Amino acid sequence: MRTYIKCVSFGFGVLISLNCLLAHSHPQPKSASDGEEPAMMETVEVEGRASDLIGSESSASQGVVGQPEFQYRPLSRVGELIETVPGMMATQHSGSGKANQYFLRGFNLDHGTDFSTMVDGVPMNMPTHAHGQGYLDLNSVIPELVDRVEYGKGPYYADMGDFSSAGYARMHTMHKLDQGFVKFTGGSYDFYRLVAANSDKLGDGDLLYAGEFNAYNGIWQVPEDTNKFNGMVRYSIDNSDWGLSLNAKAYHNSWTATNQIPLYAVQYEGLNIYGSGDPSDGGITNRYSFSTNVWSRGDSWKNNLNAYVLYSDLDLYSNFTGYLNYPALGDQMEQKERRWVGGANGEQTWFNRWFGFDMDNSVGFLVRHDQISGLGLNQTVNRVVFKTDTLNNVGETVGGLFVRNQTQWLSKFKTVAGLRGDFYGFDVTDLVGGTNSGSKYRGIISPKLSFIFGPWADNEFFINMGYGFHSNDARGATTTIDPNGATVTPTSPLTRQRGGEVGVRSGYVPGLNTTLAVWYLHSDSELVWSGDSGTNDPTGPSVRYGVEWTNYYKPTHWLTLDADFAFSAANYTGVPQDQSRVPNSVRRVITAGAVVDLSKGFFATSRLRHFGDVPLNVGNTLNAGSTTLVSLGLGYQQDAYKLELDIFNLFNSKQNDIAYQDVYRTQNDVRLGLNPNGVDGTTFHPVEPRMFRVSATLKF
């Protein structure tokens, strides 16, 4: 299948793309945008990751994944879209409506703390969030409408800011459809999904509209009762030298969650691995956004402006310790918030020739304000509040500015140098006791530098280095008394990170795109606010390092193979070596897949997902073990219809989707008077068993 990547300018927060050529005397950078991808310039044939990126990226860890890879990839949940980023893993421990857990480069990213994502120019990460810093929920994405994902890893890119030291992804949805479609999926454990989309010519542009409904109960003894709704309307004008887009999206989800359960209760108390510790866990969430992008370009310049406004809310009910703290009532808690976000970003690039050297100079900016009300942590029973631990109103404002220079010094050597500055203002109002109110203001400067050598015989070499950061929860920056009345030290509002990478990208073997990268990242602190306890988690600085090898091979027109290997280590510094492991850092991720696109409309696909060596504590005395899942897809398609059968967890694994070390006490313990201080051990959430899903798509 042929997809066309259009030459674009995008806003702050992403990389300039090199997958299209400008009308200029030397290759221009490719835009991995915040915004849209409007003007069609050169036609580029893209088949998933088969795109030839030699000469078009500034590190071995950047890439583009196109729709051809999505259309055959079996997805058991939307969050797995992010696994198109090599070395990244998405898991779940708390129902289909909650953001996934993400793992990359030795980070337990929790729900997005060090990995930033934007969809059509709208940021998905939520700072100072009720559940976790940088909360990243991708459930509002409709996979069938994702045109491509642009990604990068490491703190080397001047137009990348908060939450991006481990990496970033920029998802772009389609501007128009060649054909409208209706797709219905039904499957095991009461899975039902209906999605419909179409586009029409309207004036000088195209109007695309789509809707999705998804219901699911799952294998769990307490049914999930997930009800998800998505809607999208988009109007785009794409001309040769200017364009605009208007994009409105709406998302609602409600669900019941089965959270992680204690291993000892399964082994000694007869709890089913799909059983629940608290049957009323779950949540309700909404997200509504409107964004616009305007861009223009000339022979020696391009610019764009992107703006957005969004509203989101969350009521999340969880119980991670059973009946440890409140034996008579249970330890369920509610994390809640209501949030308005407004922001804009812009970028101007000039294509120059100074002192005999081809040179691109860019200036970009970012502004964003989050106004969060009712940000709180409550103790609840069956979702009814009996005690309020924290309740705050928070205003958080960020302004950013970056400059970047790309210079082609020699025919086989260029540099990309950048400098960005970010300024944060935090204002916290404590609505419970008033003792934790306050304001903080901080700024940070982040230099970046990359050296690119080649290509020689379709081989390109990279040396990258840079400083990055992530912001911390505003409450952590002003809190001096925790919910238990103890005195605590406020966190630093911003955490400095720095890293480097050496890599190679090769297209020497016909049909094979391969990259190899060795990387290092240092964080000044792992100290973050814990939304689960309403206080700070006191952990120190850390180092992470590793190697990644990615491969995408298309030996024939009907066969596509990919295999990605990522190995990493994550350790605290300044502590004894045998007590230095960073808990929940996944040290090994292996993914592989094959797509067979046969004649006469038949196709088949298989995927392997493996992750392992996951310490659950600093001494690695508890380990989550390894998890290996295999999926299989079979199908038949013609111009007007498509039929698919997907089989997930083909070999019916019962391994862990995720595991933690927690102190837990069951209701049975309370009834029998056992374990008054709880049991310190493994809590886990198993992968879902073998599942079948059948999909039928009708195009019109």
The predicted-structure confidence for 327-351, as pLDDT tens digits, reads as follows 999 999 999 999 999 999 999 999 9
Tokens standing for 398? 């960020």
Of the candidates 152, 156, 200, 158, the one whose C-alpha atom is nearest the C-alpha of residue 180 is: 200
**Cβ(666)–Cβ(680) under 8 Å?**
no
Is residue 94 predicted with pLDDT exceeding 90?
A: no
**Cβ(104)–Cβ(110) under 8 Å?**
no
Q: In angstroms, rounded to a whole number, what is the distance separating the alpha carbons of residues 666 and 330?
A: 9
pLDDT of residue 138: 94
Question: 10 Å Cβ neighbour count for 689?
Answer: 16
Continuous segment of H or E residues that includes residue 663: strand 656-664
Q: In angstroms, rounded to a whole number, what is the distance separating the alpha carbons of residues 581 and 614?
A: 10
Mean predicted lDDT score pLDDT of the chain:
89
Which residue has better confidence, 2 or 361? Answer: 361
Backbone dihedral angles phi then psi of residue 455, each to the nearest 5 degrees? -85, 150
Is residue 649 predicted with pLDDT exceeding 50?
A: yes
Is residue 592 predicted with pLDDT exceeding 90?
A: yes
Distances in Å between the Cα of 460 and the Cα atoms of 117, 285, 407, 473 are: 27, 45, 16, 40
User: Model confidence at 518, in pLDDT bands (50, 70, 90)?
Assistant: very high
**Cβ(686)–Cβ(271) under 8 Å?**
no
Tokens standing for 147? 């045109």
User: Model confidence at 482, in pLDDT bands (50, 70, 90)?
Assistant: confident
Rounded to the nearest 10 degrees, how much is the dihedral formed by the CA atoms of 475, 155, 369, 340? -80
Is residue 46 predicted with pLDDT exceeding 60?
A: no
**Cβ(367)–Cβ(345) under 8 Å?**
yes
pLDDT of residue 533: 62
Q: In angstroms, rounded to a whole number, what is the distance separating the alpha carbons of residues 325 and 676?
A: 10
Q: In angstroms, rounded to a whole number, what is the distance separating the alpha carbons of residues 509 and 235?
A: 42
Percentage of the chain beyond pLDDT 90 is: 81
E strands, 457-489, are 459-471
CATH of 3-348+364-699, one of 3.40.250.10, 2.40.170.20, 3.50.50.60, 2.40.10.340: 2.40.170.20
Is residue 25 predicted with pLDDT exceeding 60?
A: no
Beta bridge mates, 421: 401, 445
Q: In angstroms, rounded to a whole number, what is the distance separating the alpha carbons of residues 429 and 124?
A: 25
DSSP 3-state assignment of 422?
strand
Is residue 31 predicted with pLDDT exceeding 70?
A: no
Q: In angstroms, rounded to a whole number, what is the distance separating the alpha carbons of residues 652 and 251?
A: 32
**Cβ(266)–Cβ(241) under 8 Å?**
no
Which residue has better confidence, 517 or 536? Answer: 517
Backbone dihedral angles phi then psi of residue 439, each to the nearest 5 degrees? -130, 145
Please list, in sequence order, all residues whose beta carbon lies within 8 angstroms of the beta carbon of residue 351, skipping any fewer than 6 positions away.
22, 24, 28, 300, 301, 358, 360
pLDDT of residue 6: 34
User: Model confidence at 531, in pLDDT bands (50, 70, 90)?
Assistant: low
Backbone dihedral angles phi then psi of residue 551, each to the nearest 5 degrees? -145, 135
Average pLDDT over residues 551-576: 94
User: Model confidence at 35, in pLDDT bands (50, 70, 90)?
Assistant: very low
DSSP 3-state assignment of 82?
helix
Is residue 9 predicted with pLDDT exceeding 60?
A: no
How far does the chain reach from its first CA to its final CA, in angstroms?
A: 19
User: Model confidence at 528, in pLDDT bands (50, 70, 90)?
Assistant: low
DSSP 3-state assignment of 399?
strand
Question: 10 Å Cβ neighbour count for 573?
Answer: 11
Q: In angstroms, rounded to a whole number, what is the distance separating the alpha carbons of residues 360 and 374?
A: 46
pLDDT of residue 596: 95
Is residue 269 predicted with pLDDT exceeding 90?
A: yes
Q: Give the sign of the dihedral formed by CA 670, CA 674, CA 677, CA 678.
A: negative
pLDDT of residue 11: 32
Q: Could you tell me how many helices (H) and strands (E) the chain has, helices first?
A: 4, 39
Rg (alpha carbons) of the chain, rounded to whole number: 24
Phi/psi region, residue 215 (left: phi>0; alpha: psi -120 to 50; beta: rest), is beta
DSSP 3-state assignment of 85?
coil
pLDDT of residue 108: 86
Q: In angstroms, rounded to a whole number, what is the distance separating the alpha carbons of residues 176 and 189?
A: 34
pLDDT of residue 246: 97
Is residue 666 predicted with pLDDT exceeding 70?
A: yes
Tokens standing for 620? 């690695």
Is residue 1 predicted with pLDDT exceeding 90?
A: no
User: Model confidence at 54, in pLDDT bands (50, 70, 90)?
Assistant: confident
DSSP secondary structure letters along 338-370: EEEEEEEEEEEEEEEEETTEEEEEEEEEEEEEE
Q: Which residues of 183-198 are buried (b: 16+ CB within 10 A; e: fewer)?
A: bebebbbebebebbbb
User: Model confidence at 366, in pLDDT bands (50, 70, 90)?
Assistant: very high
Beta bridge mates, 352: 359
Rounded to the nearest 10 degrees, how much is the dihedral formed by the CA atoms of 77, 81, 87, 88? -60
Tokens standing for 108? 């337990």
**Cβ(402)–Cβ(421) under 8 Å?**
yes
User: Model confidence at 86, in pLDDT bands (50, 70, 90)?
Assistant: very high
E strands, 411-458, are 413-430, 438-456
Is residue 241 predicted with pLDDT exceeding 50?
A: yes
Q: In angstroms, rounded to a whole number, what is the distance separating the alpha carbons of residues 216 and 206?
A: 33
Which residue has better confidence, 259 or 36? Answer: 259
Q: In angstroms, rounded to a whole number, what is the distance separating the alpha carbons of residues 539 and 541?
A: 7
Question: 10 Å Cβ neighbour count for 510?
Answer: 9
User: Model confidence at 555, in pLDDT bands (50, 70, 90)?
Assistant: very high
Which DSSP state fits 124? -
